Structure 1
């Protein structure tokens, strides 16, 4: 059964499709169709010998065309990170791998260079049996001193399913400092999928913070905030499921319809091998279904998201 990967579904049709007895088979065929479409592009910079130690996994190359190019003086402009557009805004996200000790400096250079105010970490865990991630900033209000920056934890708030940390990044040469908001989601194991309701609440919380910075910049005529930096482990599974779920929600809110496969195909042109597993694909679809079937009891959420500004709206101010 060949899947139509370009068809748009309205909200009612999307929900109705999930009642089809062959729904899971349809989802499987869609995902197979997506991952079997070859995407042309190069990853030459990723493959340079000097950059190999900067890649967490050599099985997932980083596209040349969409990669973040570091503007530093250390002789290398490479970081395993790609710009990813939102549904109606270019470069809403930067999808990247989890920083390693060898790339901590590059990671924070990117945050500063791109004027990013928000970091979303998706590979946090509350289970002691799970491996802990590399901590790229010190906790307990200590300082992380890097070559070009000092990172300090200002405050931390423990929520039911995520940890919110406010950081200050200070440029050592100029003395300029900025606030960074770090959101660490706790309920997404690498081999599973999280609770859809908790995830949607988390995604909306991050978007509210992003909108705060966006509107503040427009009103004060300052530079618009940079991309939301999103990472899990390799930056292609959980990371891109987060980005694509966001795209799908805004597609529904702005147009009343969505094509999950076409949005993923577009995402795979920006971050190679995005949404590699069926679990990730099912999860994205579950997020959309949950949003649609609960929208009548959450109309405030719908209208809040609908009012969100994007980079294409900046010309109105």
Structure 2
């Protein structure tokens, strides 16, 4: 069953008088949306460390088996849900992009991990390190002492760096770039509304570049052209809407920047090898059949920490 409306958008609800765009807690203290069984996306980044539970975590159309311990990393704009999940427990870390505004390397590494390693089963040594880091982060967050934000950013840097280098003997992602034009372009693609409604020339203008300079920087960073990446972003967003909503193909075409549904269908077939209708029929997510009342998802909700809220 798909949701009957456009994908829900969850925002980070930061309680007054706190203003830090960051939160950490257990699945229970963060609240019911931390285990949402229906496709949705966030305006914030999310890192989950699952220490118990069964089922699957579906991230951008890919089902990841829950086999604790698992580390999951999602960036703002990605679509996910928990499928047939039972007994899921562990830690949830939420942060808005502004939390890392002065740390572009960490922002880029988080995005790269979300793209290349969104769901991992760490080795025992790495699992112990992750648990220790998250314990320290949660203690620091709840102590609310001077310098808390700086310490949390430092721990987050360690967490991301160890996540990048220590899983299952896989080669770690390349070191994150500094705040280059190519890196800034990739961050534009994290916002589906931007990625689906923007041309290469508009993206270049947004970044204060010529299209040629943008193309050179993006190719150096990724080996691909801005046009290729924009088409890939449009295709991914179309897939998200086809599998996570009951919007018509015509409505999805408009949502991803096509005024002509027939042209959208040709574009989609060229990019994927199949039609939108066939893709929806054969490749769809399977969220839970109903949304339980919030009270059935958690033991209690800590009013002192930030929580995701339904922004639709």
- TM interval, shorter chain, is under 0.3
TM-score, normalised relative to structure 1: 0.23
Q: Which has the higher contact order (CA 8 A, sep 6+)?
A: 2
Which protein has the bigger helix share?
2
TM-score, normalised relative to structure 2: 0.23
